[in-house]
Amino acid sequence: MKKLRWVILGCGRIGQAHAALIDAHPEMELAGLYDPSAEALDCFPYSAPSIRDLSGLGALGADVALIAAPNGQHAELAIAALKQGLHAVIEKPMTTSRSSAERVLQVALEQSRQVFVVMQNRYSPMAIWLRGVVQQGRLGTLRMADVRCYWNRDERYYGADRTRAGWHGSLDRDGGPLFTQFSHFIDTLYWLFGPLKLIGTPVFANYAHRNNTEFEDSGLIHFDLAQGALGSLAYTTAVPESNFESSLSLIGSKGALRVSGQYLEKLDFCSLPEVHPGEFAQVREAAGRDGVQVQNRAAVHRNVLEVLRAEAAVGTTALEGMKVVEFIEKVYRLRQGDFASGAGV
């Protein structure tokens, strides 16, 4: 059977991670690379024809374009790929505005091409188990959902100041931590419960990144979920040295549980009465194989392959990706103040 041919648009760390999985898959191959930076192309560890002009995408003979460029370029690159006949796989976030996501969706419909959004936490064995718990009603009536993301992103990530930060830290190319770091967790809530309705006014602060970002490093958000449940998200990238916590706690009328880990791979607590012996052991065993991040990303690629062979449905659709963007955009419309200079803290 013909191999699925991919072109990587954006040859940084994430593009390289995707290329490693494509290169190792017997039913896929790397057809080409695009990056406006000659240095990025020269340093790319996998061999394929490279271009620095988007007009040459169609000539590479690829089936799928994987967009792994800075957030603010996702829409532009996806549209260019779609117009040249390629399907588009877009790293999170899909875009940085609802209007640009709508443009991507419109072009995909016009070109009869598929759009996939990389929300790989959906493929975590623990997250899949959790979705089953919710869909089967094992929590009863949902009462509260609490997400906590306490991470480290310091000068090793942003640079010492904005002149060294590259795209990370830029308002137009990065957008902020809800887009770049924590959109996976917002997507998980959407995947489990449907659209989120913002309550009140979010609170933002910049404690540790006044010199190297144009936005907040910390925030508190409250929202309504399905069944009238209350939800909250507390996040920061100001933890010293290393990530501290990523967790999702759910409280229902029949019990409570807490899942943690950057990829929601650990079960910390569960009081559900219907849990049978060995259930958690099976999920933990699946989550521990091959490394969760690699496993989940490979599952995204497998979904693309199966969809294009008419064997499966899209794991994360463009519409779902747009809903996550829409919620973050609503939150950020309420972001005020010059966080780079310390105001708004």
Residue pLDDT, tens place only, 22-66 = 999 999 999 999 999 999 999 999 999 999 999 999 999 999 999
Nearest to 2 by CA among 21, 24, 28: 28
**Is 338 exposed, middle or buried (CB count within 10 Å of its CB: 0-12, 13-18, 19+)?**
exposed
CB burial readout 72-91, b (16+ within 10 A) else e:
bbbbbbbbbbbbbebbbbbb
Cβ atoms within 10 A of the Cβ of 15, count? 23
Domain boundaries, the chain: 4-118, 123-291+324-328
Amino acid of residue 242: S
Which CATH number describes the domain made up of 4-118?
A: 3.40.50.720
Residue pLDDT, tens place only, 274-325 = 776 566 666 665 555 457 778 899 999 999 999 999 999 999 999 999 999 9
Cα within 13 Å of Cα(188), Cβ side? 33
Residue % of the chain over a pLDDT of 70: 92
Q: Provide mean pLDDT across the span 113-128.
A: 94
Question: In which band, very low, low, confident or very high, does the pLDDT at 345 lie, cut at 50, 70 and 90?
Answer: very low
DSSP codes of every residue in 266-307: EEEEE--TTPPTTHHHHHHHHHHSS-HHHHHHHHHHHHHHHH
Q: Provide mean pLDDT across the span 128-156.
A: 95
Nearest to 14 by CA among 67, 85, 86, 80: 67
pLDDT score for 342: 53
194-198, 327-331, 334-338 — which is least confidently predicted?
334-338
Report the C-alpha gap between 89 and 314 in whole angstroms.
Answer: 11
- Higher-scoring residue by pLDDT: 126, 337: 126
Tell whether domain 123-291+324-328 is in CATH 3.40.50.300. Answer: no
Counting other chains too, the contacts that 193-197 makes at CB distance below 8 Å and 24 or more residues apart are 193/134, 193/142, 193/145, 193/225, 193/226, 193/229, 194/225, 194/226, 195/323, 195/327, 196/223, 196/224, 196/225, 196/231, 196/327, 197/223, 197/224
Report the C-alpha gap between 308 and 22 in whole angstroms.
Answer: 16
CA dihedral defined by 228, 194, 232, 202, rounded to 10 degrees? Answer: -100
Residue % of the chain over a pLDDT of 90: 82
Is the CB of residue 79 less than 8 Å from the CB of residue 104?
Answer: yes
pLDDT score for 278: 65
pLDDT score for 337: 65
CB burial readout 189-216, b (16+ within 10 A) else e:
bbbbbeebebeeebebbbebbbbbbbbb
Predicted confidence (pLDDT) at residue 116 exceeds the cutoff of 90: yes
Is the CB of residue 238 less than 8 Å from the CB of residue 104?
Answer: no
Amino acid of residue 162: R
Name 24's Cβ contacts closer than 8 Å, sequence gap at least 6.
none
Beta bridge partners of 219: 204, 235
Domains 4-118 and 123-291+324-328 share a fold: no
Nearest to 9 by CA among 118, 158, 144: 118
Residue pLDDT, tens place only, 64-76 = 999 999 999 999 9
Report the C-alpha gap between 203 and 260 in whole angstroms.
Answer: 24
Name 142's Cβ contacts closer than 8 Å, sequence gap at least 6.
134, 193, 225, 226, 227, 229, 250, 251, 252
Mean of per-residue pLDDT scores for the chain: 92
| Alpha-helical regions (H) of the chain | 13-24, 38-43, 74-83, 98-111, 125-135, 155-158, 177-180, 183-193, 279-288, 292-308, 318-333
